[in-house]
Structure 1
Amino acid sequence: MAAGKGGSKPSKEAKAAEKAARKQASKERRKQLWQVFQMQRKEDKLLLPLMIGAFVGITVILVVIGLLVHMQWYLLPIGLVLGGLVAFIIFGRRAQKNAYARMDDQPGAAWWVLDNLQGKWRPTQAVAATAQLDAVHRVIGLPGVVLVAEGSPHRVKSLLAQEKKKTARLVGDTPIYDVVIGNEDGQIPLKNLQRYLTKLPRNIDAKRMDLIEGRLSALATRGGPALPKGPLPGGAKMRGVQRTVRRRS
């Protein structure tokens, strides 16, 4: 019995450590959310009116409905929770929109979006790059291979063509999509990049993705300066906001 008790002690310590880690992570998320909220509130004068309006409006509507059906005390807490959720979603979306606006035309902006993709996407940063911080990023997903270029249009055009040619030699008949980030004709605005990727057709399965990833790992990254993982210091904070919004919605 003594041995059994002795053997269970590390398990309790491990559980305590895990609980402490979760508590610390939760504390960090709340801190990040508060910092982003304060920053967004200063830059977005409509944020608080919209959040308060959504919270109060939804709560009042449900209370009124409750009064009509004599269930006001039942619908009141539902209204408070639903109103708070909608207010939080408004905050997350406006903060994300503001982040896209601030990142536009900055080196590393496209990678910041790709690095935050949800689902079965496997992004690789700067598989080709120039000294001027132009870059081509690669994403493997169910549509196939997507090459995303950012930087000066006249420089990334040739960079993208070279990378597409190298990729085609290794992936066979797997579809290859290429896109240039920008606001000119034929380009995809940064804010629409994620939507563009999610609307692509599904052409391959996970097994094929593994095979392609293995083949493309042999492609050496062209030498050049390392790009930042996001042009804004608050990039990591925005990532936390997006994930928290998804969990709570």
Structure 2
Amino acid sequence: MAKDKKDAQGKRKWYQLIGDGYRIASRTYPKLPWILIGIFVGTLVVFIGSGILLDNWILWTISAVVLAPMFTMVALTRFIESASYRQMEGIPGAASAVIGRIRRGWTFQEEPVRFNARHQDMVFRLIGKPGVVLVTEGPVDRVRKLVDEERKQAGRIAPNVPVHALHVGTDPDQVRLAKLMKSLKKLPKKLNNNEVAVVAKRYESIRTNALPVPKGVDPYKVRPDRKAARGR
């Protein structure tokens, strides 16, 4: 009985989740309330105004009442997602947390394959239809050596497979965390499913020789601080 009561208390209602998301987004975008109000009111004005002009205001008003909340929720969802990415930027292993959302077509090792312990620069490796993709965290000039080392290894393991590098960060020559997934999808596809499996198997065979992750950094466990995101 006590357990059931505890489980019931632990389950958050949908409106509570929306409230949590709104608080996350509003910290990053202070003008969010006015933006959402503008979208809601703007939708009502456009649809009702169109209904009056077309002499069919009843149908258009019903559409406005239905679509105004929908458009507002879609916008809020986008702002929440963008704010979450922004709040993760700069956290070691944040790229791993984002890449971990990939559903199909990629093989991904969650721990870094190259690591600079002093600066906590990291290189993560993905294998997919574009070939081998190296996702880095850290200034481009500083991670170049790590990328070159991993490129050389890729040349030995899969010599004819393309190797790409995506540098995650906020500098002009880097990819913002929020655009990482989009950048991965834009890479040209060179391998078929069977070839991807073969390359992944070759890497898996040498995984036991991978560099250990230094103490104090566990990218596997890096996730946004949900308590902080909700506001303690």
TM-score bucket (shorter structure): 0.7 to 0.9
Quickly say closer, same or farther: Cα 1:142–1:46, change in 2 above 3 A: same
Amino acid at match of 2:211: R
Alignment match, 2:80: 95
C-alpha distance in 1, partners of 2:19/2:42? 24
> Which of residues 124, 130, 137 in structure 2 aligns to 1:150?
137
Quickly say closer, same or farther: Cα 1:115–1:122, change in 2 above 3 A: same
C-alpha distance in 2, partners of 1:178/1:229? 24
Task: Tell me the SS of whatever aligns to 2:198.
Answer: helix
Contact 2:106 2:126 in 1 (8 A): yes
Cα shift at 1:29: 6.3
Alignment match, 1:76: 61
Quickly say closer, same or farther: Cα 1:211–1:40, change in 2 above 3 A: same
> Which of residues 180, 199, 219 in structure 2 aligns to 1:227?
219
Residue pairs, 1:195-234, within 5 angstroms? 195-220=182-207, 221-225=210-214, 226-227=218-219, 229-230=221-222, 232-234=224-226
C-alpha distance in 2, partners of 1:207/1:29? 42
Task: Tell me the SS of whatever aligns to 1:107.
Answer: coil
Quickly say closer, same or farther: Cα 1:38–1:75, change in 2 above 3 A: same
CA deviations on 1:31-66 (whole Å, 9 max, x unpaired) are 443312123235533111111211121122112222
Contact 2:25 2:84 in 1 (8 A): no
Quickly say closer, same or farther: Cα 1:85–1:144, change in 2 above 3 A: farther
Task: Tell me the SS of whatever aligns to 1:217.
Answer: helix
CA deviations on 1:192-248 (whole Å, 9 max, x unpaired) are 32332222112122222222222221232310232254453139x89xxxxxxxxxx
User: TM-score, normalised on structure 1?
Assistant: 0.72
Q: Number of paired residues?
A: 215
Which is richer in helix? 1
Structure 2: tracts of 5 or more residues without a match: 1-10
Alignment match, 1:41: 26
The CA RMSD over aligned residues, in Å, is 3.1
Quickly say closer, same or farther: Cα 1:122–1:52, change in 2 above 3 A: farther
Identity level (%)? 25
Structure 1: tracts of 5 or more residues without a match: 1-25, 239-249
